[in-house]
């Protein structure tokens, strides 16, 4: 096959490469010229691009993450610029929003629409991870769209929670309370806890063993009443949940309640002050307030 | 001419002759130098050019007041505001089917015209034809008519040739830019974009499309010309299926013209046709074809050969109309000595006309009766329902209200389907028992509200259909939308 004379194909008159597969010879046609020119042009383009745009990463010894190029272009700077432009554009409405009261927001339709749009998008980015889309909640993460609140359902109360978090120990103003782990810390015996479970089930209007309920009554009166109240309606000052309704943050089955009393549940929410700017926090408060449970 | 010999296959087993060169499928373009025609069709074409170009350049400047904060441009595709304006018509994104209807109407109109009069669209009004005509006019102004242009192209480069060619291309580019520039006027407020385009403040898309249209105008009308019609445009192929033997096409009446032969003054016309083979029809043809070869794909039916031939017929003292608008059937009939019959009214033309009328009426009815409101109720997907502390169930909805009218309007909102339910709209409060809530919708825009409906779940199935109604307090116009109310997971 090699070192032969040029093999010219009879039909086309084109030189072959000398390769033959199943009797079919490969013609040695040159690359199309247009293709070659495009190829050369892209080489020229690439050289120009490397000179003008950031191109070569991590040059050792220079301390730079990459070459900057003559244009000094940076996608990061472009994004920062766009974010800044967005803040500038929003500045007027955002400024009004931060200081507006609930009634002002409710009467000013354009301000309300602004706050809801901003709040909805911020909620999706920051809150929906735990609280779910639309504030639907999950076990351990309160539903935000109903009318049941652990701490405060007013616009200011929601904003306070957002700013300072719940049991967020880095923030001195955080909403703080802590239920003792009655079982784990040996404050109550397992039997007393079992009786208390019956008592709580009875409080929420379900069928319970009345003998156990009666046994538990004095325990409830000494151990639980200071936070959850004599009637079990809870205390928002302390974030103590209402035990008489159907809503159970950590589950309402006797097993769940037993677990709660034994080892206590103290959920956390981070403080968003400093992580989100003031207009965003206010917009989030307006949005959560609008989900349906907002109180006056 | 290459002589082609067919060799019978088989038999002797002798191989056939080998072709020396593989046949090339590439046909080199022959430059066409259309000669200026004189006559009624040429005059009509100038008129059509003036009118169509006039329409194209003038329309974006026409104002059509619609109301406050609404564009006052008569014809505008407003992408930013997501609306399309055409004089009294105003089309919102959700009514885009009207544009579909317009396109169907345009197609049917083209079908009808083609089945009646052949390719009049190609010959008179197609932008490619109009702009090519304009470009040839410029070319003629700089380089002279056919013979002069041919001479100039074959002459060596000198100052005379250089300035004529340069001048021509400059004017061509200018026209091309005006064409591309006028195009973007249809997509923005014309006076504004005409100013910002030159101050550098226009959007990038405006520069891009002006550039693209400038380039295509220059390339298609200046340098590609008839190749666009022959090779790029699908329309000649489609027309082949639309035109038929009864359509009026630019036709060489071979029954009268053949046998053709040169004719000297004083010779007898007996025993010969009227065609004196002067080739004037070929010389004026912008497509570079010979109409005497019959109907052909390249022919755009511009009728300039009719003008050229009529001129000659007058000179040789024969009746005009050797080339004329005629039908294949009529010419064939005359050739057989029969009386030609014209059938403009045929099943297909009647069908096209009926379809056009029906679709026009349908669209007119649709447009005149369309609601000035677009109203949607979107149920929250998450959470699908909410149980409240008192045991009742609440569903959340987003109300989307599109007010297409140009004034603020006050509407009453009511919810039907759940007699015991109460409803509230965030920002407006709770409705009184079985009552309505009132709100004012912004003019010519879209409003969104959150609606919360609360009901006792005890007597309800897991899914009930709610009907939300809005009623214009001034006009009584009603728009309704349905949405489900759910009380459980099932």
What pLDDT is attached to residue A106?
81
Cα(B394)–Cα(B387) distance, integer angstroms = 6
Domain around A240: 178-263
Characterize the bridge pairing of strands A24-27 and A16-21: antiparallel
Residues 11-30 of A with CB under 8 A from B: 11-13
Chain B nearest CA to A106, separation (Å): 5
| pLDDT band at B237; cut points 50, 70, 90 | confident
Chain A nearest CA to B483, separation (Å): 18
Chain B nearest CA to A112, separation (Å): 8
Asked whether the beta carbons of B173 and B213 are under 8 A apart, the reply is no
| pLDDT band at A4; cut points 50, 70, 90 | low
CB pair distance less than 8 Å for B18 and A10: yes
Q: Does A108 touch chain B (CB under 8 A)?
A: no
The string of DSSP codes covering A176-232 is: ------TTTTTSS-HHHHHHHHHHHHHHTT----HHHHHHHHHHHHHHTHHHH-TTS
What residue of B is the nearest CA neighbor of A133? B382
- Answer yes or no: is A234 within a domain: yes
CB pair distance less than 8 Å for A113 and B386: no
Using only the alpha carbons of chain A, give its radius of gyration. Answer: 35
Cα(B158)–Cα(B70) distance, integer angstroms = 57
Number of domains in chain A: 1
Phi and psi (nearest 5°) for B458?
-60, -45
Of B22, B383, B450, the CB nearest to A136: B383
More confident residue, A39 or B418: A39
What residue of A is the nearest CA neighbor of B24? A12
Chain B nearest CA to A278, separation (Å): 22
Beta bridge partners of B440: B410
Q: Does A244 touch chain B (CB under 8 A)?
A: no
- Answer yes or no: is A154 within a domain: no
Cα(B100)–Cα(B108) distance, integer angstroms = 12
Query: Which domains are present in chain B?
Result: 30-370 (no CATH), 373-486 (2.60.40.10)
CB pair distance less than 8 Å for B396 and A113: no
With tokens 């919810």, the residue in question is B415
The string of DSSP codes covering A9-52 is: -TTT-PBEEEEEETTEEEE-PPPPHHHHHHHHHHHHHHHHHHHH
- Answer yes or no: is A105 within a domain: no
Percent of chain B with pLDDT over 90: 52
What pLDDT is attached to residue A57?
82
Lowest mean pLDDT among A186-200, B58-72, B180-194, B231-245: B231-245
What pLDDT is attached to residue B338?
87
Contacts of A159 (CB under 8 A, 6+ apart): A281, A282, A285
Q: Does A170 touch chain B (CB under 8 A)?
A: no
CA distance to A93, A99, A132, A157, A174, per residue, from A153 (Å): 24, 19, 18, 6, 16
Phi and psi (nearest 5°) for A284?
-65, -40
- Answer yes or no: is A228 within a domain: yes
| pLDDT band at A12; cut points 50, 70, 90 | confident
Contacts of B437 (CB under 8 A, 6+ apart): B412, B413, B414, B423, B424, B425, B428, B429, B431
Asked whether the beta carbons of B425 and B399 are under 8 A apart, the reply is yes
Residue B7 has pLDDT above 60, yes or no: no
- Answer yes or no: is A246 within a domain: yes
- Residue B321: exposure state from Cβ atoms within 10 A (0-12, 13-18, ≥19): middle
Chain B residues lying within 8 Å of A137, measured CB to CB = 383
- Answer yes or no: is A224 within a domain: yes
Chain A residues lying within 8 Å of B396, measured CB to CB = 134, 145, 291-292
Chain A nearest CA to B411, separation (Å): 16
In this prediction, the answer to ipTM > 0.85 reads no
- Residue A65: exposure state from Cβ atoms within 10 A (0-12, 13-18, ≥19): exposed
Asked whether the beta carbons of A261 and A197 are under 8 A apart, the reply is yes
Residue B185 has pLDDT above 90, yes or no: yes
Find the CATH number of the domain harbouring A222.
1.10.760.10
- Answer yes or no: is A255 within a domain: yes
| pLDDT band at B11; cut points 50, 70, 90 | very low
Candidates B427, B441, B455, B486, partner chain A, best to mutate (most A CBs within 10 A): B427
Chain B residues lying within 8 Å of A11, measured CB to CB = 18, 22
- Answer yes or no: is A226 within a domain: yes
């Amino acid at each position: 096959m090699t070192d032969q004379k040029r093999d010219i194909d009879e039909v086309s008159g084109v030189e072959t490469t000398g390769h033959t597969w199943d009797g079919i010879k490969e013609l040695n046609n040159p690359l199309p010229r247009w293709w070659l020119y495009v190829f050369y042009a892209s080489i020229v383009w690439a050289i120009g691009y490397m000179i003008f745009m950031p191109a070569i990463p991590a040059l050792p010894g220079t301390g730079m993450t990459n070459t900057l190029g003559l244009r000094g272009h940076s996608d990061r700077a472009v994004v920062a610029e766009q974010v800044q432009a967005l803040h500038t554009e929003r500045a007027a409405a955002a400024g009004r929003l931060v200081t507006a009261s609930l009634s002002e927001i409710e009467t000013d339709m354009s301000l309300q629409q602004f706050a809801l749009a901003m709040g909805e998008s911020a909620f999706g980015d920051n809150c929906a991870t735990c609280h779910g889309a639309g504030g639907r909640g999950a076990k351990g993460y309160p539903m935000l769209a109903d009318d049941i609140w652990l701490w405060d359902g007013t616009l200011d109360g929601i904003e306070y929670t957002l700013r300072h978090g719940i049991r967020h120990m880095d923030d001195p103003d955080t909403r703080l309370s802590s239920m003792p782990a009655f079982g784990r810390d040996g404050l109550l015996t397992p039997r007393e806890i079992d009786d208390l479970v019956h008592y709580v089930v009875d409080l929420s209007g379900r069928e319970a063993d009345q003998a156990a309920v009666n046994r538990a009554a004095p325990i409830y009166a000494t151990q639980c009443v200071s936070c959850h109240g004599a009637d079990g309606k809870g205390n928002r000052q302390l974030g103590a949940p209402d035990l008489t309704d159907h809503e159970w943050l950590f589950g309402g089955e006797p097993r769940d309640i037993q677990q709660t009393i034994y080892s206590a549940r103290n959920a956390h929410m981070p403080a968003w002050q400093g992580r989100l700017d003031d207009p965003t926090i206010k917009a989030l408060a307006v949005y959560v307030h609008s989900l349906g449970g907002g109180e006056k | 001419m290459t002589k082609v010999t067919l060799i019978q296959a088989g038999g002797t087993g002798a191989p056939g002759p080998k072709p020396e060169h593989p046949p090339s499928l590439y046909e080199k373009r022959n430059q066409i130098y259309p000669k200026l025609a004189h006559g009624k069709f040429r005059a009509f074409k100038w008129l059509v050019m003036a009118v169509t170009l006039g329409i194209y350049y003038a329309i974006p400047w026409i104002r059509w007041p619609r109301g406050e904060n609404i564009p006052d441009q008569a014809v505008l595709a407003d992408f930013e505001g997501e609306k399309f304006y055409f004089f009294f018509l105003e089309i919102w994104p959700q009514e885009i089917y009207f544009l579909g209807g317009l396109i169907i109407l345009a197609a049917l109109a083209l079908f009808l015209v083609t089945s009646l009069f052949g390719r009049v669209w190609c010959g008179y009004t197609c932008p490619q034809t109009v702009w090519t005509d304009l470009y040839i006019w410029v070319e003629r102004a700089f380089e002279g008519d056919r013979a002069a242009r041919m001479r100039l192209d074959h002459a060596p480069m000198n100052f005379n040739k250089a300035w004529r060619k340069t001048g021509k291309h400059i004017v061509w580019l200018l026209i091309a830019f005006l064409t591309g520039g006028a195009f973007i006027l249809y997509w923005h407020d014309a006076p504004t974009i005409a100013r910002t385009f030159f101050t550098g403040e226009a959007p990038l898309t405006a520069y891009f499309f002006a550039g693209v249209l400038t380039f295509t105008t220059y390339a298609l009308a200046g340098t590609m010309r008839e190749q666009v019609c022959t090779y790029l445009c699908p329309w000649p192929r489609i027309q082949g299926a639309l035109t038929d033997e009864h359509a009026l096409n630019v036709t060489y009446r071979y029954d009268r013209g053949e046998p053709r032969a040169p004719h000297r003054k004083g010779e007898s016309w007996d025993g010969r046709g009227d065609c004196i083979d002067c080739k004037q029809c070929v010389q004026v043809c912008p497509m570079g074809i010979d109409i005497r070869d019959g109907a052909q794909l390249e022919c755009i039916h511009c009728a300039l050969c009719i003008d050229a031939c009529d001129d000659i017929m007058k000179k040789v003292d024969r009746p005009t109309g050797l080339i004329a608008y005629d039908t294949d059937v009529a010419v064939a009939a005359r050739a057989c000595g029969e009386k030609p019959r014209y059938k403009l009214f045929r099943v297909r033309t009647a069908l096209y006309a009926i379809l056009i009328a029906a679709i026009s009426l349908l669209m007119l009815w649709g447009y005149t009766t369309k609601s000035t409101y677009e109203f949607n109720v979107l149920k929250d997907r998450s959470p699908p329902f909410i149980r409240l502390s008192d045991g009742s169930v609440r569903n959340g909805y987003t109300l989307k209200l599109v007010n297409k009218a140009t004034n603020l309007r006050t509407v009453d909102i009511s919810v039907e389907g759940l007699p015991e339910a109460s409803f509230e709209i965030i920002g407006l409060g709770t409705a009184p028992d079985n009552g309505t809530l009132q709100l004012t919708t912004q003019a010519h825009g879209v409003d969104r509200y959150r609606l919360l409906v609360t009901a006792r779940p005890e007597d309800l199935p897991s899914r009930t259909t709610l009907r939300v109604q809005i009623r214009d307090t001034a006009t009584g116009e009603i728009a309704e939308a349905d949405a489900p109310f759910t009380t459980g997971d099932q």
